Every structure is written in structure tokens, then in C-alpha cells.
Amino acid sequence: MIAGTEHNPDIWQAYLRELPGHHDPSSVNTIALEKLLATRVPSVLTTKEETRVRVTDVRDGRSDSFLCETPDALQQALAMDNGKLRIVSIYSVNAFSPLRISPALMADIFRRYSVHPGFIQVLLSFASNVHVSEAGNNYLFAGKDGGDSYITYQINYVEEKHHPRGLLWSWRHTGVYHHHCISSGGEESDLFILLHPTEDNVYERRIQKELQLPPPQDIPSESHTGREHRSHLPTALHSLALSSFLGNWRWYLRDLGKKFEKHNDLALIADPDEATPLESYDMLASLRDLNDSALRAQVCCRGSLELVERLKAATSSGTLSTADDTLERAVTACDAIGTELRGYLASCDELIPRIRNAIDLAGYTLSLHNQLDTAKIDRELRDLIGHLEMLQRDSVDDSAAVKIITFLSAVYLPGSFIVSLYGMNFFVFDTDARQIVIAHDFWVFIATWLPLTLVTGLVYVLIVWFDAWWKRKPFNLFARPVKITKLQSPRG
């Protein structure tokens, strides 16, 4: 029993101690590897009491499969003699969930089969979505040490999901580890460790069909005997992995193309005067999202093409198999997949510049819309300044008129007051002569009116001076009004 040691970092010590005896210690950074095994690897494995691992053995021309749902069942299946070919398939609930195997059981598998440490990098990619910074990295390792050959890689791809609100795409990855061994007697054996993001995936179903195995959910920890083993199966598993997922790029790129055509048509007929800034911004954001998706697909396809070419080279050198018919078939499959991937890359090279052109057009439309809004605001501001200028001019004219009226009132008001005071007795109408006769004491009126007028004017001047002094403004009784100049807009 290994249960109960899931959180103990020492469970990897046995694997680390035996590692130098199976792999070149100079090519393995054991210090960094120990840290990864103790800190990062446990986060991609389950912390629950659950196991979902299928062990398939092919020997004596027949295949047996065991779906292990408990740690004990898995240990019993691993302890059996696997014969020529063993496939250990480890499942996850979905791409975001940990693999359903405990750290202790995974450590036991690594130690039992002396798994090459390069496979740890593939293992760390699980329990999370395909990270954008790692989309083009397949963590490919292909090496040979005497009669042992090691190949490890992951495939980044997309899968379509039918959703009630439309067709969505999920980014996923599948991990593959292959150890091909040739004994001193010339016998060949192969070990595969497959990491699946979901239990019911295309790759797993094709393997079951190749071996004529029933679906995993129909095998409650029982063995099953399938059809006879075919000699090309080890190399065929690589071809199955590549062909199961890489063909999805065609439909993904087509879906991107349809979305682009829709946005491109809208961008070409968009009227800056009618479109709102929010609509232009939404279109620009959608086009940028399409551009990012196309770039990510391009990076993944380029990484997959490099993976195919490396697998082709490994196959041609006899790393995977020594049978001539198997080599020819594997090389042909790699050539076909490589040609397909080059076509996808050519589609990306065609689509990405067109999306960028549409982004430039949408950005120009948004900029033009902003310029039109600025020009409209500028016109309204100039009209407002014109109205304010007219109001100011009218205010100045009214102020001047009030000053004149005030001054005239100051002149005539004392006389009116004096006349009222004396009751118009300084002027007498002679009926006989039919003319106005000025009284002899008219000088009294003059002597009273002139000083009073001067006093009134002096009081007015004093009031104006006091107001200027109180407001701390220069005193200027007869200042000319300042000429109003028209404010110029930024555009002139």
C-alpha cells in the first residue's frame, strides 16, 4: 500500500536515487528536478482518493486491458508481466482538473519504469488550460542510450464543443511517453504512458478500436482480451495521436475565417457619422481577439510541424522500430501530416495580415469618429463664444448708456430740484407783453443750482473712487472700453 503518502516529498527519493543508473546524470539537473517533483508535480495530480488508469498489455499475439479504479488494482496491474507492449493511460475529468492518480502512484510508475525526466515537463502542463506562452512548445525529447530509446512530447490542439449558444472551441493537450527497448537477445518491447485531458477522447477511442477494446466505463476493474497484436502498433500509436487532433485546425481556422468575414464586411461599410464609438470599439476588440486566436493557432501548428519532423527523423533512424514495412508506413504518415500542417500555416499566413488590415481600418474609423466628434464640439464651442461675445458687447453698450443717463441725470436733477423748490417763481408770464419775464432775483437760482450740481458730481466721483479703492482696482473715471477680440479655436 502506498496510500497515505501523497503529500510526502520523500516518495520521489527512490526514483531520484535510481535515476543516474538509467539516464546520463550530466544531462539531468537533479537539483531542479527534485524541486519540481516536490513542489509542482503534486499540483497536477489528484489529492482525492480516486484512481482512473487503464493498463493495456499486448503479448503472445493478444491484448489484455485493466481499468484500475483503486490504488490496489493499479498496483496489481503494474506488477504483471507486460510482455512486448504496455500502454498506461491516465485520465482526467477535464482539461482543468488534475490527473486522476495520486502522487505516490505516479512516483511508483516513474521508479518502476525508470521514466526519462523529460516527461516531467509534459506532466506539468496538465491541470490547466494550454498557456499562451507555451502554445508552441511540445516539450519534445528524443534520445537513445544503447538499446533504449526515449521519446516524450505533448500535442497542443483544439477540440470543438457544441454549446446551446454556438460552437465553442476548447484548447487541450495530450502527453505521450514512449520507451522502446531492445534486449541483448534482440527482443523488442515498448512502454507507453499516455496523459489524457478527458476519458472519452478521440485518441483513446481510436486506441480501443485498434485493439478492439470496449469503452473504459464498461470495464469495472476487469481484464479483457482483444484482437491479435500487430507489429506496427508501437509506431502506429504516434500516428494515431497526431492524426486524432491535428486535423481540427482546419475547422478551427475556418471558423475564424467566418468570424473575420463578418467583422470585415461591417468594417468596410461602417459610416463614421452613424457608428457610435462603442460599436467601433467592440468591432476593434473582436478583431484583435481573432488576431490573437489566429496567432496562437499559427504557433501551435508550427510547433506540431517541428514535432512531426522530429518523429519522422526518429522513425527513419530506427529509434521506434526496426521493421522495414513499419518504417515506411510511419514515414509516409509523417509526410502526410507534415503537408497538412504546412497548409494550416499557409492559411494562418494569409488570414493574419487580413485581420490586421481590418484592425487598422476599424482603428481608423474609430479615430475618424473621434475627430468628427471633436470638430462638432469645436463648432459648438465657437458658436457659444460668438454668443458670449455678443452678450458682452451688449453689456458694454448698456453700461455706457447707463453711465450717460446717470451723468445727465446728475446735471438736470439739481435744477429740477431747485425749480420744484422755488415753485417756478423766477419766471413770470406777462400777459400784456405776451412773453416770459425773468425775475430780478433769478441769480438766486443760479447761485443755488451750480453749487448743488458740483456737489452732486463730486459725490459721484467719490463713490467711484471708493469703489475702486475697496476692490483694489486702478481708479480711472474716463477709461475707454477694452476692444473685444474674437477667440480663436485650435483649428483656426
Residue among 167, 168, 143, 139 nearest 155 (CA) = 139
Position 324 pLDDT exceeds 60: no
The answer to whether the beta carbons of residues 87 and 207 sit under 8 Å apart is: yes
Residue of 330, 314, 154, 308 lying closest to 236 (CA atoms): 330
Q: For all residues of the chain together, what is the average pLDDT?
A: 80
Report CA 443 to chain centroid distance, whole Å.
100
3-class SS of residue 7: coil
Mean pLDDT, residues 166-193: 86
CB 475 within 8 A of CB 464: yes
Q: What is the pLDDT of residue 116?
A: 92
pTM of the full predicted structure? 0.71
Residue 358 pLDDT: 81
* Least confidently predicted of 121-125, 176-180, 306-310, 450-454: 450-454
Supply the pLDDT for residue 488: 47
Beta-ladder partners of 137: none
Residue type, 146: G
Distance from C-alpha of 197 to C-alpha of 95, rounded to nearest angstrom:
5
Closest CA to 336 of 305, 357, 366: 305
Confidence check: pLDDT of 135 > 60 = yes
What does the pLDDT look like over 418-464, one tens digit per residue? 667 666 566 677 777 777 777 777 777 778 778 878 887 788 788 77
Contacts of the segment 359-365: beta carbons below 8 A, 24+ positions apart: 359/284, 359/287, 359/288, 359/291, 361/267, 361/268, 362/263, 362/267, 362/270, 362/280, 362/283, 362/284, 362/287, 363/284, 365/267, 365/270, 365/272, 365/275, 365/280
Alpha carbon 181 to chain centroid distance? 45
For the stretch 481-492, pLDDT in tens is 555 555 444 444
149 phi and psi angles, rounded to 5 deg = -125, 140
In 3D space, the residue among 115, 111, 91 whose CA is nearest the CA of residue 191 turns out to be: 115
User: Tell me, what's the pLDDT at 1?
Assistant: 40
Per-residue pLDDT, 457: 79
The three state secondary structure string of 130-172 is: CCHHHCCCCCCEEEEECCEEEEEEEEEEEEEEEECCEEEEEEE
Q: Which CATH superfamily is domain 1-229 in?
A: CorA soluble domain-like (3.30.460.20)
Closest CA to 125 of 199, 44, 45: 44
Distance CA(9)–CA(458), nearest Å, equals: 104
Whether 140 shows a pLDDT value over 70: the answer reads yes
Q: Residue 290 and residue 257: Cα distance in Å, rounded?
A: 9
Residue type, position 109, single letter: I
d(CA 488, CA 485): 9
What pLDDT, in 10s, does the model give residues 233-278?
788 888 899 999 999 999 999 999 998 888 888 777 766 666 676 7
* Helix, coil or strand: residue 447: helix
Q: What is the reported pLDDT for 195? A: 95
Q: Would you mind telling me the total number of residues written for the chain in this entry? A: 492
Identity of the residue numbered 115: V
Question: Which residues in 307-432 belong to E strands, given as ranges?
Answer: 427-430
| Tens-digit pLDDT profile for residues 81-114 | 766 889 999 999 887 889 999 999 999 999 999 9
Interval 22-66: pLDDT, tens = 888 777 888 888 888 888 888 899 988 889 999 998 877 678 888
Alpha carbons within 13 angstroms on the beta-carbon side of residue 275 total 24
- The DSSP letter of residue 489 is P
Domain residue ranges of the chain, discontinuous segments joined by +: 1-229, 377-470
